[in-house]
Amino acid sequence: MLLGRTAASLFWMARYMERAENMARLIEVSYRISLMPKPFRAHQDDWSSALKSAHCEATFAGKYDTASQENVIQHLVLDRENPSSIRSSMETARNNGRAVRTALSRDVWESLNATWIELSTLRMNQLPSDKLPGFLDWIKQRSMLFRGAMLGTALRRDSFHFCQAGAFIERADNTARILDVKYHILLPRGAGPGSSIDRQQWASLLRSVSAHRAYRWAYRDASYQPWNVAEFLILNPAMPRSLLFCYDWISNNTLSEIEEEYGDGTLPCHETATETMNLLASANMEKIFQNGLHEFLSDFIDRNNRLTAEIATAYNFP
Amino acid sequence: MGDNFNEMLEADGSVRPPYALLHKWLETQTPGDLRAKIREAESIFRRLGITFAVYGTQEASERLIPFDIIPRIFAASEWRRLEAGIAQRVGALNAFIDDVYHRQEIVRAGKVPGDLILQNEAYLPQMAGHSPARNVYSHIIGTDIVRVGANDFYVLEDNCRTPSGVSYMLEDREAMMFLFPDLFAKHRVAPIEHYPELLRQTLDSVAPPQCEGEPTCVVLTPGIYNSAFFEHAFLADEMGVQLVTGDDLFVRDGWLYMRTTRSPVRVDVVYRRIDDDFLDPLTFNPNSTLGVPGIFDIYRAGRVTIVNAPGAGIADDKAVYSFMPDIVEFYTGEKPILNNVPTWRCSDSDSLAYVLEHLEELVVKEVHGSGGYGMLVGPTASKKEVATFRQILKKRPGNYIAQPTLALSSCPTFVKSGVAPRHVDLRPFALTGDRMRITPGGFTRVAMKQGSLVVNSSQGGGTKDTWVLED
Amino acid sequence: MKIHIRHATTYHYDNPGSHLVQRLYLTPLDTPSQSVLEWTIEAPGIENALRYVDAFGNVAHVTTPPIDLAEVTVVAAGTVRTTDTAGVAGYDLGSVPIQAYLASTPATEANAAITALAHGHGQLSGIEQLHSLSASVLDKVAYVIGATNEHTTAADAVRDGKGVCQDHAHVFISAARLLGVPARYVSGYMVVGENEFAEASHAWAEAYVASLGWVGFDVSNQVSPDERYVRVATGMDVSGATPAKGVRRGLSTGAETMDVEVLVERVAEQ
């Protein structure tokens, strides 16, 4: 038996862990780009696009004047006033986990708690730019440790599935946003396809969702075709960060498992998840581009948010 | 430390029998060895997230409670005497509370003044006439005991509302078993790990009459920002019951339910760690967001059991404490086995005069205080502190009681300079349901500062594992 | 006297959808001065309500109305036959010991003004003392509608010199307790006039006199309850005797307003 509040905490704990990891990857990529010589960077490819991808423009604007490297990193990594910063995300994840401590295995709790303990004492001056890559790598490691502990020790019951739902909804949201932001920056603008500028841009987009090498295995083209990149991240069923993969998992391996365990019948959230998955499964890139990629991704993000609200209602989240 | 009773060493330096093996072992350890063990213990605790938030500090962040790795040891015969005294006292306390909320026979008999009880902050008129399951009000009592001599024990106070410390007792034991398996092998220490099981049995045994089948019990916590949250979560987990906050519970159609991911589940027994005043905004403090609206009505109608009962605090009021010898005798017909500390009630003008004259020698406490706050320890206070307190006391004398300082016993403790004696007290836990179950030993608190008599964790005190040796 | 009562309370909620728990003290009982001929309560959720008798001897109903109602109406109605017992309610059957009614509560805590008021009557005793006290309270606190609300304490009312029956009762209770007289709050109804609707039910105080038991004092009207009065619930102060009280939990509860309509009229004997 699970309290509605426990299910909510598990959902958000997993969601914020995923957010922290995604944020680390995003910052890593932006950092890599900032190291490139100017001609290789698109004019909009500065730190403000990182803010946009992370959906942190509003919180940033209230506090800082310029989107300099220092300010953006500060805001996205350690700023307590940014609920999506790495520190805040880890803290929220940890607090949610602490509130439902008894629903977690000891390994899962310790991976969460140990990370938070180290992170909570970190100061900005302990993170000069040369230490940044190592730090971001450490965040990814800790997140993967959490995921590993979860997959390795959690009983496959409702509590586990609520975690999975949170993680995959966040992952889908993250992929959709990054693609939406980056795609427009990267539309060829005077630079011919296959140029070295072009390649760097696509490579960086794929890196920001850890899909850079996977792409090469899925598509044999030496240069990155925009069409393929978008297809890879939206429709490829084998790519664990694609929108289709996420929704297949949410629908068939997560919500359906909960429905089966409870036996309380189909609820709106099940229908929305299935509907979205079918939409993705039957989509093709030609139609998507015809109607507009941005429109497609916006619609998807709305559906994703709606699913979160429907899950909350269905399972009595507070 | 002078003449205080040292639990390990007699005055002539010989080792008291319960500590014989431990003393031998300590002689083989260097401070370095012990420090390494302490670090090991700290890392165990930190990984487990055992902390204790301290109110009023700048960062209400989490700090570990100091844990001392040298155990406190009682011989079986020493414990038996204590246990009998605790059982007698706990039985009397529940009988007293029952009497208070029914006929007040002890008042009619002239043993305790009526106004002390009926006009007491802790007395809840809403409880008058209510008879909870098995007539038990304080199912969990933590009695604070100090030792002054080999066979001289005094009860400092009875905690009848929401006593805490059990989780530290249990985690200390687990840590010790992990750190010193060899020492355990050499001694025969009475087990305490089954406390959660005993607590669960106690809760089950007081389920309301309409409960069918296995009772649904919950632990009601104020939430993660409460200083004892770890203990609430720990006990719920060990007992296999849900940990809930006020928002997880609700009253509907005359019963109490839990809000789950599926249909609501009826709740039969609530082990609450929320104070009376915050329990129910419909009956008590209307501003409370921690409690459950309507839970008291459901309780009063006998449809749910609340542990410990609302209004049980009437028994652990410090002014009522001063009548404990009479209370024990009135309900058991026996003289008390455990001593009460002589207590001056400052509400009485003669007592107040005495107290004001001897302020530097006495310990003065608030009648309704807890955690060692708002008190004066005369002998160790500065002249200024004493003067300030004198004024406070004169303004509201009815708020205070005074007691002589007791020469608390000391136990070997590992401190910066090595192993040295530090003052200790003991809080055993007694569970009352269908029967009484007292855990051997309990929670030993130690004042880490040399000479200090304040053992409360909220003021820098630490804990020790307590061993009761079996015969 | 035969009295017909209809007491309707309507709560309006801006944001329905939160969970409401209501406790109703709306059931008068038979006493030496009244006998209930018929009585009903209509309220959403009343069919499944918990009904029990509390420590003070009050009949309580605890209801949980369905969650989506934007408006919750509670109607208590019935007929009671009363007799004049010169305000003596007698020795009651509640469980709270008499001496407990000497305890102070937040609403009835005395300030310097109340203390002075009380000691002004220290020389008198018994019924005489209490009637005199009642007159002084009205003197100090003029009957003014709208100057106070349900949260006003006795100390506030005395300081501002204005109040309604609830405040009069609190001040009287506060002073009586200081004088060592157990006192309590009573909520109920009073016949005002033919076909006259009131905006609230009525409240007065009771004090314990050893030879008589509990005796009522209506400070606002300067009488002890006679056959025009119907007694419903008692408590240490208003919080324990409020006719209808609810607590909501859940998402933002929004604004809440309350309308009360009370009809208390004498009917002809058949």
> Please, what are the domains in chain B?
17-339+407-468 (no CATH), 342-404 (3.30.1490.270)
Question: Do residue B236 and residue A102 have CB atoms under 8 angstroms apart?
Answer: yes
- Closest approach of chain B CAs to the CA of A297, in angstroms? 31
**Closest residue, chain C, to B130 (C-alpha):** C55
Q: Which residues of C touch B130 (CB under 8 A)?
A: 55, 95
pLDDT at A41: 57
Mean pLDDT over all residues of chain C? Answer: 92
Whole-structure pTM over 0.90, yes or no? no
Range in A185-199, B175-189, B216-230 with the lowest mean pLDDT: A185-199
Question: Do residue B251 and residue C103 have CB atoms under 8 angstroms apart?
Answer: no
- pLDDT band with cut points at 50, 70 and 90 for residue A197: low
Q: What's the rounded mean pLDDT across residues B120-142? A: 96
- Closest approach of chain B CAs to the CA of A110, in angstroms? 6
Q: Does the beta carbon of C150 lie under 8 angstroms from any beta carbon of chain B?
A: no
Question: Do residue B260 and residue A114 have CB atoms under 8 angstroms apart?
Answer: no
Nearest-angstrom CA–CA distance, B164 and B143: 11
User: How are beta strands B436-438 and B429-432 bridged, if at all?
Assistant: antiparallel
Q: Which residues contact B313 (CB under 8 A, 6 or more apart)?
A: B122, B160, B161, B276
Chains that touch A (3 or more CB pairs under 8 A): B
What the block records as the tokens of B171 is: 């985690």
pLDDT at A120: 82
- Closest approach of chain B CAs to the CA of C223, in angstroms? 28
pLDDT in tens, A3-38: 999 999 999 999 999 999 999 988 888 887 777 776
Question: Do residue B114 and residue C99 have CB atoms under 8 angstroms apart?
Answer: yes
Question: Do residue B297 and residue C249 have CB atoms under 8 angstroms apart?
Answer: no
Q: Which residues of A touch B247 (CB under 8 A)?
A: 5, 318
Q: Which residues of C touch B128 (CB under 8 A)?
A: 55, 94-97, 100
Mean pLDDT over all residues of chain B? Answer: 90
Q: What's the rounded mean pLDDT across residues B160-171? A: 89
Domain boundaries, chain A: 1-154, 156-318
- Which among B266, B244, B243, B261 has a CA at the least distance from the CA of A7? B261
- Which among C6, C67, C69 has a CA at the least distance from the CA of C42? C6
Neighbouring C-beta atoms of residue C245, cutoff 10 Å: 20
pLDDT at A188: 47
What the block records as the tokens of A40 is: 């290789």
Mean pLDDT per 10-residue segment, chain C (270 residues)? 94 83 96 95 95 96 90 95 92 89 96 94 91 95 92 95 96 97 96 73 95 95 94 96 91 78 86
Nearest-angstrom CA–CA distance, A113 and A142: 11
pLDDT at B49: 59
Q: Does the beta carbon of C111 lie under 8 angstroms from any beta carbon of chain B?
A: no
User: How are beta strands B269-272 and B305-307 bridged, if at all?
Assistant: parallel
- Closest approach of chain B CAs to the CA of C267, in angstroms? 36
pLDDT at B390: 92
pLDDT at C196: 66
CB nearest A3 (choices: B223, B237, B248): B248
pLDDT at C251: 67
pLDDT at B51: 53
Nearest-angstrom CA–CA distance, C171 and A67: 64
CB nearest C247 (choices: B128, B281, B298): B281
- Element spanning B105, H or E: helix B105-108
- Closest approach of chain B CAs to the CA of C75, in angstroms? 18
Nearest-angstrom CA–CA distance, C100 and B378: 36
CB nearest A4 (choices: B224, B233, B259): B259
- Closest approach of chain B CAs to the CA of A219, in angstroms? 43
Best to test chain C binding among B107, B282, B314 (most C CBs inside 10 Å) = B282
What the block records as the tokens of B245 is: 């906050």
- Provide DSSP, B226-291: STTHHHHHHHHHHHT-EEE-GGGEEEETTEEEE-BSSS-EE--EEEE-S-GGGS-TTTS-TT-SSS
- In the predicted structure, residue A184 carries a pLDDT above the cut 70: no
Alpha helices in chain C, H assignment, sequence order: 112-119, 126-140, 154-160, 165-178
Chains that touch C (3 or more CB pairs under 8 A): B
Q: Which residues of A touch B217 (CB under 8 A)?
A: none
Q: Does the beta carbon of C60 lie under 8 angstroms from any beta carbon of chain B?
A: yes
pLDDT in tens, C176-223: 999 999 999 999 999 977 666 677 789 999 999 999 999 999 999 999
Mean pLDDT over all residues of chain A? Answer: 87
pLDDT at C78: 96
Q: Does the beta carbon of B115 lie under 8 angstroms from any beta carbon of chain C?
A: yes
| Structure-model confidence comparison of residues C238 and B44, the more confident one | C238
- Element spanning A287, H or E: helix A285-291
Whether the CB-CB separation of C41 and C74 falls below 8 Å is answered with yes
Residue whose structure tokens are 């664990």: A240
- Closest approach of chain B CAs to the CA of C18, in angstroms? 12
Q: Which residues of B touch C64 (CB under 8 A)?
A: 251-253, 294
Neighbouring C-beta atoms of residue B68, cutoff 10 Å: 23
To 10 degrees, the CA torsion angle through C132, C134, C137, C139?
A: -70
- pLDDT band with cut points at 50, 70 and 90 for residue B368: confident
Summarize chain B as % helix, strand, coil (round to 5).
35, 25, 40
pLDDT at A198: 61
pLDDT in tens, B296-321: 999 999 999 999 999 999 998 888 99
What's the burial of C159, exposed, middle or buried (CB within 10 Å: 0-12/13-18/19+)? middle
pLDDT in tens, A236-292: 999 999 999 999 999 999 999 999 999 988 999 999 999 999 999 999 988 888 888
pLDDT at B57: 34
Best to test chain A binding among B238, B261, B292 (most A CBs inside 10 Å) = B261
Q: Does the beta carbon of B266 lie under 8 angstroms from any beta carbon of chain C?
A: no
Nearest-angstrom CA–CA distance, A142 and B24: 45
Q: Does the beta carbon of B126 lie under 8 angstroms from any beta carbon of chain C?
A: yes
Q: Does the beta carbon of B329 lie under 8 angstroms from any beta carbon of chain A?
A: no
* H, E, C per residue of A97-143: HHHCHHHCCHHHHHHHHHHHHHHHCCCHHHCCCCCHHHHHHHHHHHH
Most confident of A144-158, A202-216, B397-411: A144-158
Best to test chain C binding among B105, B123, B253 (most C CBs inside 10 Å) = B253
Nearest-angstrom CA–CA distance, A26 and A22: 6
Q: Does the beta carbon of C70 lie under 8 angstroms from any beta carbon of chain B?
A: no
- Element spanning B163, H or E: none
Best to test chain B binding among C18, C62, C237 (most B CBs inside 10 Å) = C62
pLDDT in tens, B411-454: 999 888 788 899 999 999 999 999 999 999 998 999 888 777 77
Q: Does the beta carbon of B294 lie under 8 angstroms from any beta carbon of chain C?
A: yes
Alpha helices in A124-238, H assignment, sequence order: 132-153, 158-186, 196-208, 212-218, 226-235
| Structure-model confidence comparison of residues B65 and C210, the more confident one | C210
Whether the CB-CB separation of B260 and C28 falls below 8 Å is answered with no
